[in-house]
C-alpha cells in the first residue's frame, strides 16, 4: 500500500509549497523584468541625452554663425553610433537647421514638444542648445529601439528559463519536504486503521517527530492504553458476570427444584402436603373404583398442641412437629402416604387394606410412637394424638367425604378424652353439625351481650365471713336452654373467642361488684377466670389496666384465676406478664391446682398469691385417704411458699372441718353457697352479718 499515493494531505502540502514558491518566483521575475525594462529605458534615454548634449555643444557655434555645413558635419559623426537612427538641429523657431538621417523620414518634421519619448517606435530626446544662458536652438536624437528590444527579449527569455528551472527545483524539493509533515500523520492514520481493522489495542503508533504531531501520537498512544485497560476491565467484568450468571442459574435451578418440592411438600417437616395427599387419595380412589379394594384415611391432631405453641413459643412447637413427623413416618409403609395437612394436623393414606383392623393397627402404632417424651430445647414434652379413621368405600364414595368423615372421627376421639382412635360412624356428623351451630351461636351471643355472670362467694374458713366472689360466665340460650361452660369455653378457646369473653366478664363483674358497694371501694375480692391463651398477649396488663381505669375498680381487690397448665412451662414471658399485673396490685391465683404438672420451683419464682385446690380432691375427702393426704400436703406446701389456699367444692361439713383443721384459708362450695346472680350476691353482701352455717 503506497499511502503517499492516496494522500491528499501530501498533495495539498505540495500544492501549497508550489503555489507559494511559484508565486514568489513569478513576482520576483516580473519585478525583475519590469525593473529591467525601466532601467534599460532610462539607460537608453540617459545615453541619448549624453550624446545629444555632446553633439549639441559641438554644434552651438555652427548654429550661432549660421554654418549649416559645420553643423551637418558634426551630426554626421553619429554615423559611428549603431543605434542612432537620426539626429537634427532646430533653430529657436523650431525650423530644421541641420540633420543626419540613416533613412529618410526617420526624423520628425517638427520639433517634438516633450523632452523625451517615442517616435515611430524609436526613442528620442530633445535637448536645448544653450550658450552663455542664451538658447540658440534644440537638438533631437533618435535611437533605434528595436536594438534595445532585442536585448530586452533576451533578458526575458533568460528570466523565464530561470523561472521554469526554479519551479522544477521547487516541485522536487516540495515533494520531498511535504513528507516531513504528511508522513507522521499518514503513519498515525495507518496505525489507527490497522487497529480498527484488527481490533488489536496492543499496537502503538510510532513517534517520528517532536512537534505537535509527535504530541498527537503520544496522546493517541495514551488513549490506546486507556482503551486497552478498559478492555481488560471489561473482560474481567464479563467473566465475573458469566460466573455470576452461572451461579445464579444454579441457584435458580435449585430454587425451582425447591419450589416444586414445596408445592407438593410441607416445608417444615418435609412430608407431602395437603395437595399431594389429595392427589394421592384421588388416584387411589380411582384405582379402587376400577379394580375394587379398600383404603383408609387416618386423620391425626396433636392434643393440646395449641397450648404448647402458645406457652412455649412457635419455635418449640415447630420442632415438636418435626420430631413427631419423623416418628410417624417410621410407622407407615412406603406405599402409604403420610402428609401434614397444616398446623398440628396430619393424615395417612393406607392403600389396599384387607380389613379395617389394619387401619386400627397403624393408628395404634402412631399413638405409641409419640408416647415416649420428646426433648425440645430442654423441655421434655409428652404429646399425644387423637386419631380418626374413615374407610373407602364404606364411609364415603369420594375423597372429600372420606376426609371430612375422618376429621369428624378425630373430633370424637378428642371429645372422648384424647389420645385414642375412633372409627367414623354416621352419628358423628350430627355432633359435628351441632358443634358448628354452637360456635355460630356463641359468636352471636358475644356480639349481642347474651352472656351473663354468676358469682360464687368465697368465705373465710374461720370467721365464715364472705371475703370474695368468683365470677362465672353463664350462657342461657333461649332455644336450647343453658349451655355448660365445660362445653362452650373449650370451643371459645379453639375459635379464638375466649379473649372477648374474658374481657367482657372482667369489665361487667367489676361494674357489678362496685354497684354492690354503692361505688365505694369493695372490701371483698373479685376473682375472674382468665384463659391461659390470654397470657401470650404482651399488652395484657394494658388491657386490664384500662378496664380498671374505666370501671374505677381497685386493682388490689381483683384476682385473676389461671389454670395450672400455664405453670408447667419455663416461659419468661409469662413471668414478665405476671410482674406487670402485680404492679397493678392485682392478685394472681392458680385454679384447679393439682390436676396438671406444676413444678414447685416455678410456683416459688412466680409472683402468685393463692392456690385453689381442685374440687376433685376435696370431693373425696372422707372417702379417699390419698386425696386427704394430698389436700393436707398442698395446704402445708402453699403456706410454706407463703401462699393462701382456697378449697373448692366444699359440699359437706366433713369436708369443711377437714380443710379447717388443716388451716385452709378460704373455702368455696355448695355448703356455703352455690353460684348466684349478681342481685342475690348484692343482697347477701348487704346482709352479710346474718350469714351463718
| Cell numbers given for 222 | 495514551
Nearest distance from C-beta of residue 75 to other proteins, angstroms: 14
**Could you tell me which stretch among 130-138, 264-272, 398-406, 468-476 binds other proteins (CB under 8 A)?**
130-138
Nearest distance from C-beta of residue 81 to other proteins, angstroms: 21
**Could you tell me which stretch among 57-65, 101-109, 484-492, 535-543 binds other proteins (CB under 8 A)?**
57-65
Considering the rule CB under 8 A, would residue 67 count as an interface residue with other proteins?
Answer: yes
Considering the rule CB under 8 A, would residue 131 count as an interface residue with other proteins?
Answer: yes
Q: Tell me the per-residue interface mask from 255 to 294 with other proteins, x by CB under 8 A, - otherwise.
A: ----------------------------------------
d(CA 496, CA 252): 40
Nearest distance from C-beta of residue 104 to other proteins, angstroms: 21
CB-nearer residue toward other proteins: 52 or 410: 52
CB-nearer residue toward other proteins: 46 or 66: 66
Considering the rule CB under 8 A, would residue 60 count as an interface residue with other proteins?
Answer: yes
Considering the rule CB under 8 A, would residue 65 count as an interface residue with other proteins?
Answer: yes
d(CA 96, CA 108): 10
d(CA 147, CA 83): 7
CB-nearer residue toward other proteins: 136 or 305: 136
Q: Which of residues 4, 21, 28, 58 is near other proteins by CB under 8 A?
A: 58
**Could you tell me which stretch among 55-63, 422-430, 533-541, 553-561 binds other proteins (CB under 8 A)?**
55-63
Q: Which of residues 136, 148, 411, 553 is near other proteins by CB under 8 A?
A: 136
Residues 338 and 328 sit within 8 Å (Cβ to Cβ): yes
Cα 302 to Cα 261, 321, 530, distances in angstroms = 25, 9, 24
d(CA 299, CA 200): 74
| Cell numbers given for 40 | 534599460
Nearest distance from C-beta of residue 129 to other proteins, angstroms: 11
Nearest distance from C-beta of residue 132 to other proteins, angstroms: 5
Residues 418 and 383 sit within 8 Å (Cβ to Cβ): no
Name the nearest CA neighbour of 586 among 541, 553, 555.
555
CB-nearer residue toward other proteins: 14 or 63: 63
Nearest distance from C-beta of residue 70 to other proteins, angstroms: 6
Residues 666 and 458 sit within 8 Å (Cβ to Cβ): yes
Name the nearest CA neighbour of 183 among 158, 155, 211.
211
d(CA 644, CA 565): 19
d(CA 375, CA 363): 23
CB-nearer residue toward other proteins: 133 or 212: 133
Considering the rule CB under 8 A, would residue 452 count as an interface residue with other proteins?
Answer: no
Residue 338 main-chain phi, psi, to 5 deg: -105, 125
Residues 300 and 407 sit within 8 Å (Cβ to Cβ): no
Nearest distance from C-beta of residue 61 to other proteins, angstroms: 3
CB-nearer residue toward other proteins: 95 or 261: 95
CB-nearer residue toward other proteins: 132 or 448: 132
* Total residues interacting with other proteins, rule: CB under 8 A: 20
Considering the rule CB under 8 A, would residue 63 count as an interface residue with other proteins?
Answer: yes
**Could you tell me which stretch among 23-31, 125-133, 259-267, 330-338 binds other proteins (CB under 8 A)?**
125-133
Q: Which of residues 39, 42, 76, 134 is near other proteins by CB under 8 A?
A: 134
CB-nearer residue toward other proteins: 40 or 54: 54
**Could you tell me which stretch among 16-24, 60-68, 563-571, 590-598 binds other proteins (CB under 8 A)?**
60-68
Residues 348 and 361 sit within 8 Å (Cβ to Cβ): no
What does the CA dihedral 77, 80, 83, 87 come to, rounded to 10 degrees?
10
Q: Which of residues 44, 62, 509, 590 is near other proteins by CB under 8 A?
A: 62
CB-nearer residue toward other proteins: 64 or 232: 64
Nearest distance from C-beta of residue 101 to other proteins, angstroms: 21
CB-nearer residue toward other proteins: 56 or 388: 56
* Neighbour tally for 615: CB within 10 Å: 19
Considering the rule CB under 8 A, would residue 372 count as an interface residue with other proteins?
Answer: no
Q: Which of residues 16, 24, 34, 64 is near other proteins by CB under 8 A?
A: 64
| Cell numbers given for 663 | 388451716
Cα 683 to Cα 44, 516, 520, 686, 687, distances in angstroms = 168, 8, 16, 5, 6
Nearest distance from C-beta of residue 65 to other proteins, angstroms: 5
Nearest distance from C-beta of residue 66 to other proteins, angstroms: 5
For the chain, the first-to-last Cα distance in angstroms comes to 133
Lay out the sheet containing 84-90: strands in order across. 96-101, 84-90, 134-143, 122-131, 116-119
Nearest distance from C-beta of residue 59 to other proteins, angstroms: 9
What does the CA dihedral 582, 584, 585, 589 come to, rounded to 10 degrees?
-50
CB-nearer residue toward other proteins: 134 or 416: 134
Identify the bridge partners of residue 470 per DSSP, sorted by sequence position. Answer: 456, 527
Q: What SS3 state is found at 146?
A: helix
Considering the rule CB under 8 A, would residue 691 count as an interface residue with other proteins?
Answer: no
CB-nearer residue toward other proteins: 61 or 637: 61
Residues 387 and 421 sit within 8 Å (Cβ to Cβ): yes
CB within 8 A of 638, min separation 6: which ones?
Answer: 611, 644, 645
Nearest distance from C-beta of residue 64 to other proteins, angstroms: 5
Name the nearest CA neighbour of 544 among 495, 590, 496, 577.
577
CB-nearer residue toward other proteins: 60 or 453: 60
H or E stretch covering 136:
strand 134-143
Nearest distance from C-beta of residue 138 to other proteins, angstroms: 14
CB-nearer residue toward other proteins: 95 or 434: 95
d(CA 61, CA 64): 5
Considering the rule CB under 8 A, would residue 66 count as an interface residue with other proteins?
Answer: yes
Considering the rule CB under 8 A, would residue 61 count as an interface residue with other proteins?
Answer: yes
Identify the bridge partners of residue 379 per DSSP, sorted by sequence position. Answer: 376
CB-nearer residue toward other proteins: 66 or 200: 66
Q: Which of residues 33, 70, 547, 584 is near other proteins by CB under 8 A?
A: 70
CB-nearer residue toward other proteins: 128 or 293: 128
| DSSP code, position 270 | -
Nearest distance from C-beta of residue 166 to other proteins, angstroms: 56
Burial degree of 539 (CB within 10 A; 0-12, 13-18, 19+): exposed
d(CA 668, CA 675): 10
**Could you tell me which stretch among 63-71, 287-295, 321-329, 364-372 binds other proteins (CB under 8 A)?**
63-71
Q: Tell me the per-residue interface mask from 84 to 103 with other proteins, x by CB under 8 A, - otherwise.
A: -------xxx-x-x------
Name the nearest CA neighbour of 614 among 626, 623, 624, 627.
627
Name the nearest CA neighbour of 677 among 526, 549, 509, 494.
509
CB-nearer residue toward other proteins: 140 or 533: 140
**Interface with other proteins by CB under 8 A: which residues?**
58, 60-67, 70, 91-93, 95, 97, 131-134, 136
Amino acid at each position: 500500500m503506497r499511502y503517499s499515493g492516496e494522500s491528499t494531505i501530501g498533495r495539498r502540502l505540495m500544492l501549497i509549497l508550489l503555489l507559494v514558491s511559484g508565486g514568489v518566483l513569478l513576482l520576483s521575475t516580473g519585478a525583475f523584468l519590469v525593473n529591467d525594462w525601466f532601467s534599460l529605458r532610462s539607460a537608453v534615454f540617459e545615453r541619448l541625452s549624453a550624446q545629444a548634449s555632446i553633439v549639441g555643444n559641438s554644434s552651438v557655434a555652427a548654429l550661432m554663425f549660421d554654418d549649416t555645413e559645420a553643423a551637418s558635419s558634426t551630426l554626421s559623426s553619429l554615423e559611428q553610433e549603431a543605434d542612432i537612427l537620426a539626429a537634427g538641429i532646430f533653430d529657436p523657431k523650431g525650423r530644421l537647421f541641420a540633420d543626419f538621417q540613416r533613412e529618410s523620414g526617420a526624423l520628425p518634421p517638427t520639433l517634438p514638444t516633450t523632452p523625451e519619448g517615442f517616435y515611430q517606435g524609436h526613442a528620442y530626446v530633445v535637448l536645448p542648445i544653450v550658450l552663455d544662458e542664451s538658447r540658440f536652438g534644440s537638438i533631437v536624437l533618435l535611437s533605434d529601439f528595436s536594438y534595445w528590444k532585442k536585448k530586452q527579449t533576451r533578458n526575458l527569455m533568460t528570466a523565464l528559463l530561470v523561472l521554469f528551472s526554479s519551479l522544477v527545483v521547487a516541485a522536487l524539493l516540495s515533494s520531498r519536504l511535504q513528507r516531513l509533515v504528511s508522513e507522521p500523520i499518514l503513519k498515525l492514520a495507518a496505525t489507527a486503521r490497522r487497529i480498527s481493522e484488527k481490533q488489536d489495542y496492543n499496537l502503538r503508533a510510532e513517534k517520528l517527530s517532536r512537534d505537535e504531531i509527535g504530541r498527537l501520537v503520544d496522546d493517541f498512544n495514551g488513549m490506546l492504553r486507556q482503551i486497552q485497560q478498559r478492555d481488560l476491565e471489561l473482560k474481567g467484568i464479563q467473566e465475573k458476570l458469566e460466573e455470576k450468571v452461572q451461579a445464579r442459574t444454579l441457584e435458580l435451578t435449585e430454587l425451582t427444584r425447591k419450589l416444586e418440592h414445596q408445592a407438593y411438600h410441607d416445608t417444615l417437616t418435609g412430608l407431602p402436603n395437603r395437595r399431594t395427599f389429595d392427589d394421592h387419595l384421588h388416584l387411589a380412589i380411582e384405582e379402587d373404583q376400577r379394580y375394587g379394594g379398600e383404603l383408609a384415611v387416618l386423620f391425626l391432631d396433636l392434643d393440646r398442641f395449641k397450648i404448647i405453641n402458645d406457652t412455649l413459643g412457635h419455635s418449640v412447637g415447630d420442632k415438636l412437629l418435626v420430631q413427631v413427623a419423623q416418628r410417624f413416618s417410621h410407622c407407615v409403609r412406603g406405599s402409604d402416604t403420610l402428609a401434614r395437612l397444616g398446623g398440628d394436623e396430619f393424615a395417612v393414606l393406607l392403600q389396599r387394606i384387607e380389613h379395617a383392623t389394619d387401619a386400627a393397627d397403624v393408628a395404634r402404632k402412631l399413638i405409641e410412637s409419640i408416647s415416649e417424651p420428646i426433648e425440645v430445647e430442654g423441655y421434655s414434652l409428652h404429646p399425644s394424638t387423637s386419631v380418626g379413621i374413615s374407610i373407602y368405600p364404606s364411609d364415603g364414595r369420594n375423597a372429600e367425604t372420606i376426609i371430612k368423615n375422618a376429621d369428624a372421627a378425630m373430633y370424637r376421639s378428642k371429645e372422648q378424652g384424647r389420645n385414642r382412635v375412633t372409627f367414623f360412624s354416621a352419628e358423628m356428623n350430627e355432633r359435628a353439625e351441632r358443634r358448628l351451630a354452637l360456635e355460630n351461636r356463641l359468636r352471636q351471643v358475644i356480639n349481642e351481650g347474651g352472656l351473663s355472670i354468676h358469682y360464687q362467694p368465697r368465705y373465710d374458713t374461720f370467721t365464715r365471713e364472705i371475703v370474695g366472689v368468683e365470677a362465672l360466665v353463664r350462657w342461657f340460650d333461649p332455644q336450647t336452654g343453658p349451655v355448660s361452660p365445660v362445653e362452650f369455653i373449650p370451643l371459645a378457646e379453639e375459635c379464638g373467642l375466649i379473649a372477648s369473653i374474658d374481657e367482657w366478664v372482667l369489665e361487667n363483674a367489676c361494674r357489678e361488684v362496685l354497684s354492690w358497694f354503692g361505688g365505694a371501694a369493695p372490701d371483698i375480692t373479685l376473682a375472674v377466670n382468665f384463659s391461659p391463651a390470654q397470657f401470650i398477649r404482651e399488652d395484657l396488663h394494658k388491657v386490664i389496666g384500662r378496664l380498671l381505669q374505666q370501671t374505677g375498680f381497685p386493682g388490689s381487690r381483683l384476682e385473676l384465676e389461671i389454670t395450672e397448665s400455664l405453670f408447667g412451662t419455663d416461659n419468661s414471658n409469662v413471668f414478665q406478664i405476671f410482674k406487670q399485673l402485680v404492679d397493678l396490685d392485682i392478685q394472681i391465683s392458680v385454679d384447679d391446682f393439682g390436676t396438671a404438672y406444676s413444678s414447685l420451683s416455678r410456683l416459688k419464682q412466680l409472683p402468685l398469691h393463692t392456690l385453689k385446690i381442685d374440687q376433685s380432691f376435696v370431693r373425696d375427702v372422707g372417702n379417699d385417704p390419698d386425696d386427704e393426704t394430698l389436700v393436707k400436703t398442698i395446704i402445708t406446701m402453699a403456706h410454706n411458699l407463703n401462699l393462701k389456699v382456697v378449697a373448692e367444692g366444699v359440699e359437706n361439713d366433713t369436708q369443711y372441718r377437714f380443710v379447717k383443721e388443716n388451716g385452709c384459708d378460704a373455702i368455696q362450695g355448695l355448703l356455703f353457697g352455690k353460684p348466684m346472680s349478681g342481685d342475690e350476691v348484692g343482697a347477701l353482701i348487704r346482709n352479710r352479718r346474718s350469714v351463718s352455717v
